[in-house]
Amino acid sequence: MHPILFHIGSFNLYTYGLFVALGFMTALWVSQKNAQPHGISAQVISDIFFVILISALLGARLLYVLINFDSYKENWLDIFKIWNGGLVFFGGFIGAVVTAFIYLTMKNLKIWNTADILAPGIALGHAVGRLGCFFAGCCYGKACDLPIAIKFTNPDSLAPLNIYLHPTQIYSVFSNLTLFFILLWLQKRKKFDGMVFLIYIMLYSLFRFIVEFFRGDFRGNFIFDFISLSQGIGLIVFLMAFVLLIKLSRPFYGSK
């Protein structure tokens, strides 16, 4: 595809970085709109997103580097070149959740209600960001001969060249778009705080688990060569979210 959108002298605009930025702005805008009916100002949401951005980037990059450590042993400076691709969602998710929990507690904000407000925007922003993976060629799929297969020919691409592959980046885009609409629907029907966010985490983990089977890049091993590290983390996160969902629902349904 087009890993580098255009050149101006020695300056390169990397498509991956552009779409990550667009994804962040999309998530922020949607979350600010969602927060208005709850009396939470746009500035408060902006502050939360700044905290999430820093912690998510650090966590996502750290997990990617750990998974692909052999690629960086001889080139330590490449660790900082995130514009070339290389972020793992679950690493960013863990980093963002821990940091956001601490921040929201310090600011005396309702943690579960705020999480519900942010979830749809994060899903949509993630869909936009995944387009950057498509253009950069990272997170590429296994070889296939399906009609929807794609072939990367740009020498700057991170994917294998001139081979038809599963468009796993597009699978991820559509799964996150689907999540966004599901979450919007749930938001108007939620029974208790935390419901929207926890269902988001469970469904994302499920979708990600499925897409991982079509990925062709090295994913790290969790259980032999069958389950990748992201799938393993996804299973753990799914179970934790499910337990929390049951726990939070008891006061509501128990009162009926």
Question: How many residues would you count in the chain?
Answer: 256
HSE value, Cβ hemisphere, 13 Å, CA-based, for 176: 21
Q: What percent of the chain has pLDDT over 90?
A: 49
Please state the rounded mean pLDDT for residues 221-234: 73
Identify the pLDDT of residue 217: 82
Q: Which residue has the tokens 């469970």?
A: 202
Task: Judge whether residue 255 has pLDDT over 60.
Answer: no
Please state the rounded mean pLDDT for residues 31-47: 92
Tens of pLDDT, residue by residue over 195-207, are: 999 999 999 999 9
Between these two residues, 181 and 11, which has the higher pLDDT value? 181
Tens of pLDDT, residue by residue over 12-36, are: 788 888 898 999 999 999 999 999 9
- Under the banding of pLDDT at 50, 70 and 90, the label for residue 177 is very high
d(Cα 54, Cα 92) in Å, to the nearest integer? 9
d(Cα 105, Cα 112) in Å, to the nearest integer? 11
Under 8 Å between Cβ of 75 and 40: no
Q: Which residue has the tokens 């983390």?
A: 233
Please state the rounded mean pLDDT for residues 45-49: 92
Largest CA distance in the chain: 67
Identify the pLDDT of residue 31: 95
143 DSSP β-pair partners: 165
Q: Decide: pTM greater than 0.95.
A: no
Task: Judge whether residue 253 has pLDDT over 80.
Answer: no
d(Cα 5, Cα 136) in Å, to the nearest integer? 10
